């Protein structure tokens, strides 16, 4: 059902449970509903929103419309305009005609402001015409008793749709500063990236697949669950930026880290505290593990060492 009604219906006096058409609502009442809807959604253009010139005098009652066309366009002198036109059928000659209904304006002249006005236009369209779609919350019902099997494709599409809606709502609808929510958006996209791995989907229990698919705003719930993990990642990014010689270096080819080993090579490690020579003093080193690639009866190809020393009464990693 449309959010903004243009027609008047009442219960049918002779047919129980049925309604009948009574007439059209007043144009002033319909426009008031549009204005209230946009204000409640924090979407009302800041300069003005008004009926198109002569519309109310021509149509005291809101005309029966075949469609409504809403769009944004750059102003001739300043600002960006929002326009909504009605597609109606002329009751005298039966021809279809497009009638300007309302207009709004913002004084901003940026690409972001244009995108927002287009978004507002879309919201007005859906308020009149309805969304003509089914929420994912109602897609699972088959016979009223059991749920469909949730597939990888079903879950991925649901999560991607939820992510797009979240971005649209936060950036266009609420106009939240990107700098304020960049950390949240980044972690949310990381969570989505993990959930899109087929192996991750296969590892989930049926109950968790159901929770992910049926729960509205599940990505936001997962963000709050994983928010504490963001701090370590922020430090790593900060270190990377600070330590780089230049941020303008062109990405080169990735080094080939593959290693062809002899047939009799093997991976191994030694732990200092488990060796026969563990009683030999090693300065401040508490313990040490040496990892390596070895060849039987032919020495070692490569070694790496991890050690621990005491710092502040606690063992910490050290490196040479």
pLDDT for 45: 92
Could you report the per-residue pLDDT of 175-189, keeping only the tens digit for each?
Answer: 888 888 888 898 899
Q: 3-state DSSP call for residue 233? A: helix
Rounded to two decimals, the pTM is: 0.57
- pLDDT value at 68 more than 70: yes
In contact, 52 and 103? CB cutoff 8 Å = yes
In contact, 241 and 247? CB cutoff 8 Å = yes
- pLDDT value at 128 more than 70: yes
- pLDDT value at 144 more than 70: no
* Pairing, β 314-318 against β 285-295: unpaired
- What mean pLDDT is predicted for residues 100-122? 92
Query: Picking from 17-21, 140-144, 252-256, which range would have the lowest pLDDT averaged per residue?
Result: 140-144
In contact, 121 and 113? CB cutoff 8 Å = no
- pLDDT value at 217 more than 60: yes
Which of the 8 DSSP states describes residue 6?
A: -
Query: Picking from 31-35, 103-107, 202-206, which range would have the lowest pLDDT averaged per residue?
Result: 202-206
pLDDT for 206: 87
- pLDDT value at 146 more than 70: no
In contact, 287 and 273? CB cutoff 8 Å = yes
Across all residues in the chain, what is the average pLDDT? 84
Distances (CA, A) of 99 to 26, 28, 69, 74: 17, 16, 10, 20
pLDDT for 139: 40
pLDDT for 135: 43
- Most confident range (mean pLDDT) of 49-63, 222-236, 260-274, 298-312 is 49-63
Taking alpha carbons only, the member of 164, 160, 156 closest to residue 202 is 156
- pLDDT value at 138 more than 50: no
Could you report the per-residue pLDDT of 72-96, keeping only the tens digit for each?
Answer: 999 877 899 999 999 999 888 889 9
Taking alpha carbons only, the member of 66, 62, 61 closest to residue 129 is 66
pLDDT confidence bin for 41, thresholds 50/70/90 = confident
pLDDT for 247: 64
pLDDT for 258: 72
pLDDT for 242: 73
pLDDT for 131: 64
pLDDT for 130: 80
């Amino acid at each position: 059902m449309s959010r903004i009604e243009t027609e008047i219906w009442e219960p049918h006096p002779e047919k129980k449970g049925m309604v009948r058409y009574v007439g059209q609502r007043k144009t002033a009442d319909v426009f008031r509903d549009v204005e209230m809807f946009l204000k409640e959604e924090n979407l009302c253009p800041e300069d003005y929103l008004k009926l198109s010139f002569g519309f109310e005098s021509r149509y005291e009652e809101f005309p029966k419309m075949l469609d409504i066309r809403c769009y944004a366009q750059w102003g001739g002198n300043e600002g960006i305009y929002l326009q909504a036109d009605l597609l109606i059928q002329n009751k005298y000659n039966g021809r279809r005609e497009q009638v300007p209904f309302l207009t709004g304006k913002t004084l901003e002249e940026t690409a972001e402001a244009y995108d927002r006005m287009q978004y507002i236009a879309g919201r007005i369209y859906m308020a009149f015409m309805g969304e003509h779609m089914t929420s994912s919350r109602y897609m699972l019902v088959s016979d009223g008793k059991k749920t469909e099997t949730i597939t990888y494709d079903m879950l991925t599409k649901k999560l991607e749709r939820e992510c797009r809606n979240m971005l649209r709502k936060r950036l266009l609808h609420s106009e939240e500063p990107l700098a304020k929510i960049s950390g949240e958006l980044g972690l949310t996209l990381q969570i989505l990236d993990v959930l899109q791995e087929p192996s991750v989907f296969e590892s989930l229990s049926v109950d968790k697949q159901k929770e992910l698919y049926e729960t509205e705003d599940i990505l936001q719930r997962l963000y709050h669950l994983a928010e504490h993990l963001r701090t370590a990642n922020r430090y790593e990014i900060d270190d990377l930026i600070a330590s780089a010689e230049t941020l303008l270096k062109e990405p080169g080819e990735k080094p080939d880290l593959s290693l062809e080993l002899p047939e009799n090579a093997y991976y191994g490690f030694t732990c200092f505290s488990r060796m026969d020579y563990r009683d030999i003093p090693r300065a401040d080193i508490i313990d040490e593990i040496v990892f390596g690639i070895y060849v039987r009866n032919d020495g070692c190809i490569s070694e790496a060492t991890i050690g621990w020393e005491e710092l502040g009464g606690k063992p910490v990693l050290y490196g040479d």
